[in-house]
Chain A
Amino acid sequence: DAKTTQPNSMESNEEEPVHLPCNHSTISGTDYIHWYRQLPSQGPEYVIHGLTSNVNNRMASLAIAEDRKSSTLILHRATLRDAAVYYCILRDPPGGTYKYIFGTGTRLKVLA
């Protein structure tokens, strides 16, 4: 199974950068790395995804290790609205159909 490993929780001060790590040692060559976040009492929402190269969008940046066995979601300036559970996910099974298995994610707490 394509599994990811994330820390259970992290804290950050408001307006400081946050680096959320994810390990995915069983990733296959064609699997994209997706990040979603879930705000309190809401469904998950897409944040960013990438394959090999680092990616940037208006919400965040994604840094992918050269061997693709780990990645880091970067929030450049955390705000109180970024407090959420962040999920790093791959497709499961590696190279199989497009079902996405969520782990328990990282709960990000942003301190004012």
Chain B
Amino acid sequence: NAGVTQTPKFRVLKTGQSMTLLCAQDMNHEYMYWYRQDPGMGLRLIHYSVGEGTTAKGEVPDGYNVSRLKKQNFLLGLESAAPSQTSVYFCASSDEGMSEKLFFGSGTQLSVL
């Protein structure tokens, strides 16, 4: 049972470098989300998608871009990484419906030096 898979699990970047985080789900869910979690803090929503080809901004979207070209994948891009983007990134997915559960991946630890 794969569920929600995030790659990579760890990454170290230098300031100004770019990278893409991949989230893949095998549950045929419509909705996908990217959150970040800073040490000792709760999760903050970066971007989300309500279906293939759609994306929308969350609470903290600046400095990130996303794409949902295929229903099962949700990509999070950092065009020019900054130390303030050092965080743990979590992807989640859910089906349609007001009562549907969120399923989370195991996270990506990103450090920007």
* A-to-B contact residues, CB < 8 Å: 30-32, 34, 36, 42-46, 49, 51, 85, 87, 91, 97-105
A102 touches B99 (CB 8 A): no
Per the bound structure, the CA–CA distance linking A44 and B102 in Å amounts to: 9
Per the bound structure, the CA–CA distance linking A34 and B97 in Å amounts to: 13
Q: Which of A31, A42, A97, A101 has the most CB of B within 10 A?
A: A101
A49 touches B99 (CB 8 A): yes
Q: A30-B98, A34-B101, A102-B45 are in contact. List 5 more A-B contacts (CB 8 A).
A: A44-B90, A46-B103, A51-B99, A98-B50, A98-B100
B75, chain A: closest CB distance, angstroms: 18
Question: What is the count of residue pairs linking A and B with beta-carbon distances less than 8 angstroms?
Answer: 59
**Interface residue count for B (Cβ, 8 Å)?**
28
A98 touches B106 (CB 8 A): no
Per DSSP, chain A at the interface is: loop
Quick one: which of B35, B56, B97, B101 contacts A97, CB cutoff 8 A? B56
Q: Which of A32, A42, A44, A103 has the most CB of B within 10 A?
A: A44
B31 touches A43 (CB 8 A): no
The interface residues of chain A lying within 8 Å CB-to-CB of B42 are 85, 87, 102-105
A78, chain B: closest CB distance, angstroms: 22
